[in-house]
Chains A and B, each alone.
Chain A
């Protein structure tokens, strides 16, 4: 997609993407192991309310 955008927009998007990617990679190291039954967040909280 970056190739299809005008240079200023592509540059802005790449900067934002790189910042997000870096934060996401850090987050991945904190992710808990996958359990056998992964419930959905929304259904869990809504069940309570």
Chain B
């Protein structure tokens, strides 16, 4: 068994007593330490994780098994509260914050037997997409250590891509689960707004924040999502050769296929061909409101983030990194009238997308218009400014609150992963997982980075 095995396979090893959770956890912690140059973690919880694994091993020997996650090591982004353990939010401001309880998202995985290995690196307060963190170092992309992981859940994606942890809890306010998943070749699901509790998760922008699972495969994301949501998930597509027959796939060429690198566009169009071969029909759609959702989301995010940070940005500005400080100061300048206008415009954007999803089942788009740029770069390979470019294709589903998932769909000539994004109507996560799983099964085992 390898560090990259699916949860189902690891669980079988544990069930047959061919491996103990303690052995598994020790091996994973050693691996994380060997790969510490990737800066995936802000803290590793060695003693706590080993002790918990022992407890779960003893339970298993007594025949008490909590489910498919029993004894499985996971990680959580370090703004997800962990009882009695530091939760820094990737910041100096909260460097010593120790929550008195677990976030429900984490508690739900622990209650099903998952073992928390450590807390992963993130863009400071989740307010950015590079994961170049001024306090804890830049999370490095395992496919090319000179490149960014993407963010803000970058440490989670790096850990997964480097074979540490079998799943992770991420958060997504403008793409922060899907962007690093795309750039690191992993899978991430941003569920419908409010589907997974945001309680016990340090907010960035409360009306845009989402909590969701990240893993190496769609199959594993489904296992984690089932545990986090309490919803029974059957993501297995039928095996009759046309598992996606009757599925209407929306293609929004304007906006989502503008200004892509040729390799990204080629890989996404190949995925569309695969979806057709699995029985899906492709329907071209156009939602004019797509053009206004970006500034609408920015205004909401600027105002809400600065509202949360108001006291600290006024009294301790020097304790924030430069890019986070600039954005928080900008938010202080947003008038209440503009925030309210943005909320009202948002309602019309939401309505337009819901109507569009009456004609289609899933929307297919790239997750990011280009692959991971070098650390320190301010532009993407397609020439777009880095921050707005990485947010452009993922952000619409935060403005609308619709569920969206990123999965790998190919590699560039220089070996960098390319991400495919699927989105659906509210609460259709199971459909997203089923379509993504059909693609995953067709593409076969994924490539692994040489870490």
Contacts and interface: CB of A to CB of B under 8 A. Distances in A.
Nearest to A10: B329
Contact of B298 (A23, A38, A49): A23
Interface string A9-24: 1001100110010011
A26 B346 CA distance: 14
Interface string A25-47: 01110111010001111101110
B426 A48 contact: yes
B324 to A, nearest CB: 13
A49 B194 contact: yes
Given A16-B330, A23-B295, A24-B299, A41 B426 contact: no
Given A23-B295, A24-B299, A32-B348, A49 B342 contact: no
B296 A9 contact: no
A48 B393 CA distance: 25
A16 B326 contact: yes
Contacts of B333: 1, 17
Contacts of B343: 40-41
Interface size class of A (residues with CB under 8 A): 20 to 34
Interface size class of B (residues with CB under 8 A): 20 to 34
B371 to A, nearest CB: 26
Contacts of B329: 1, 5, 13
A38 B330 CA distance: 27
A42 B205 CA distance: 12
A44 B426 CA distance: 12
Interface in B18-38: none
Chain A CB within 10 Å — which of B298, B333, B342, B427 has the most? B333
A34 B194 CA distance: 26
B318 to A, nearest CB: 11
Contact of A20 (B206, B302, B341): B302
Given A1-B333, A38-B344, A49-B427, A30 B326 contact: no
Chain A CB within 10 Å — which of B295, B299, B338 has the most? B295
B325 to A, nearest CB: 8
Nearest to B339: A24
A33 to B, nearest CB: 9
Contact of A27 (B195, B334, B345, B427): B345
Given A27-B342, A32-B344, A40-B343, A20 B299 contact: yes
B326 A45 contact: no
A44 B296 CA distance: 18
A27 B341 CA distance: 9
Interface in B195-216: 195, 206-207
Contacts of A1: 329, 332-333
17 contacts: A1-B329, A13-B329, A20-B302, A23-B294, A24-B338, A27-B342, A28-B341, A32-B344, A38-B344, A41-B346, A42-B207, A44-B347, A45-B193, A45-B426, A46-B194, A49-B195, A49-B426
Closest 3 CB pairs of A and B: A23-B295, A46-B194, A49-B194
Interface of B: 192-195, 206-207, 292, 294-296, 298-299, 302, 326-327, 329-330, 332-334, 338, 341-348, 350, 401, 426-427
Interface of A: 1, 5, 9, 12-13, 16-17, 20, 23-24, 26-28, 30-32, 34, 38-42, 44-46, 48-49
Given A42-B193, A46-B193, 17 more contacts: A9-B326, A16-B330, A20-B295, A20-B299, A20-B334, A23-B298, A24-B299, A24-B341, A27-B299, A27-B342, A30-B348, A31-B341, A31-B344, A32-B345, A42-B207, A49-B192, A49-B194
